[in-house]
């Protein structure tokens, strides 16, 4: 009986009441309204407060990732999206898990960490194929192809740059040799 009372007291402090849930949702809506009106700092601050207040709720983490991304705080966005995906998976909230996984891949691509972005999209594709009612695998494949194209374009640009540098070195060596032969 003693353990049942302790458990009941513990649940009373961890399970939000209807009023607390309504307050959370009102604050979440306010934050989203602020973001929609371009008040990124205010929206981000409100979402950060919601994350501190209810760290196990996925919604604020997902939207906080978007707010950080809007503010150009990409590492913070990545962290928030990772937490969103983790919490979504843990709580079986597939929509939030998908949102977190997509955010991770997008931010990694934006950070030009393309091999990591490619891996993140591969993870998202596995998820999408198992949950096509949540996210269309075709969307993920299109994004993967875009990252692959960027990687290929970067490789081609790097190869061209290396060939130009090699030709410039060869031309400089030829000029140096021809300068030495005319001095003799």
Decide: helix, strand or coil at residue 71: coil
Can you say how many angstroms the Cα of residue 153 is from the centroid of all Cα atoms in its chain? 22
The tokens for 67 are 């707010």
pLDDT at 13 over 50: no
Nearest Cα to Cα of residue 92 among 135, 58, 123, 140: 58
pLDDT interval class at 138 (50, 70, 90): very high
Report pLDDT digits (tens) over 149-175: 999 999 899 999 999 999 999 988 888
Report pLDDT digits (tens) over 76-105: 999 999 999 999 999 999 999 999 999 999
Q: What is the DSSP string of 125-142?
A: HHHHHH-TTTS-HHHHHH
- Domain membership of residue 7 (yes or no) is no
For the chain, helix, strand, coil in percent to 5 are 85, 0, 15
Average pLDDT in the chain: 88
The confidence score (pLDDT) of residue 14 equals 42
What CATH number is attached to the domain comprising 65? 1.25.40.10
Cβ atoms of 71 and 45 within 8 Å: the answer is no
The confidence score (pLDDT) of residue 127 equals 98
Domain boundaries, position 130? 29-183
- Domain membership of residue 9 (yes or no) is no
The confidence score (pLDDT) of residue 12 equals 39
pLDDT interval class at 19 (50, 70, 90): low
How many domains does one find in the chain? 1
The confidence score (pLDDT) of residue 176 equals 84
Write down the pTM of the prediction: 0.77
pLDDT interval class at 180 (50, 70, 90): low
- Domain membership of residue 123 (yes or no) is yes
Can you say how many angstroms the Cα of residue 152 is from the centroid of all Cα atoms in its chain? 22
- Domain membership of residue 10 (yes or no) is no
């Amino acid at each position: 009986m003693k353990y049942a009372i302790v458990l009941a007291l513990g649940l009373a402090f961890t399970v939000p009441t209807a009023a607390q849930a309504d307050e959370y949702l009102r604050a979440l809506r306010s934050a989203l309204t602020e973001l929609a009106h371009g008040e990124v700092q205010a929206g981000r601050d409100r979402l950060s407060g919601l994350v501190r207040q209810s760290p196990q709720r996925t919604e604020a983490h997902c939207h906080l990732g978007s707010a950080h991304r809007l503010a150009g705080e990409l590492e913070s966005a990545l962290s928030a999206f990772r937490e969103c995906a983790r919490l979504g998976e843990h709580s079986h909230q597939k929509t939030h898990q998908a949102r977190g996984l997509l955010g991770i891949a997008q931010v990694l691509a934006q950070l030009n960490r393309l091999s990591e972005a490619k891996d993140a999209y591969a993870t998202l594709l596995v998820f999408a194929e198992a949950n096509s009612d949540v996210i269309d695998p075709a969307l993920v494949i299109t994004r993967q192809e875009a990252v692959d194209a960027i990687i290929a374009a970067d490789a081609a640009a790097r190869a061209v740059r290396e060939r130009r540098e090699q030709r410039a070195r060869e031309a400089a060596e030829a000029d140096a040799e021809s300068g030495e032969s005319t001095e003799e």
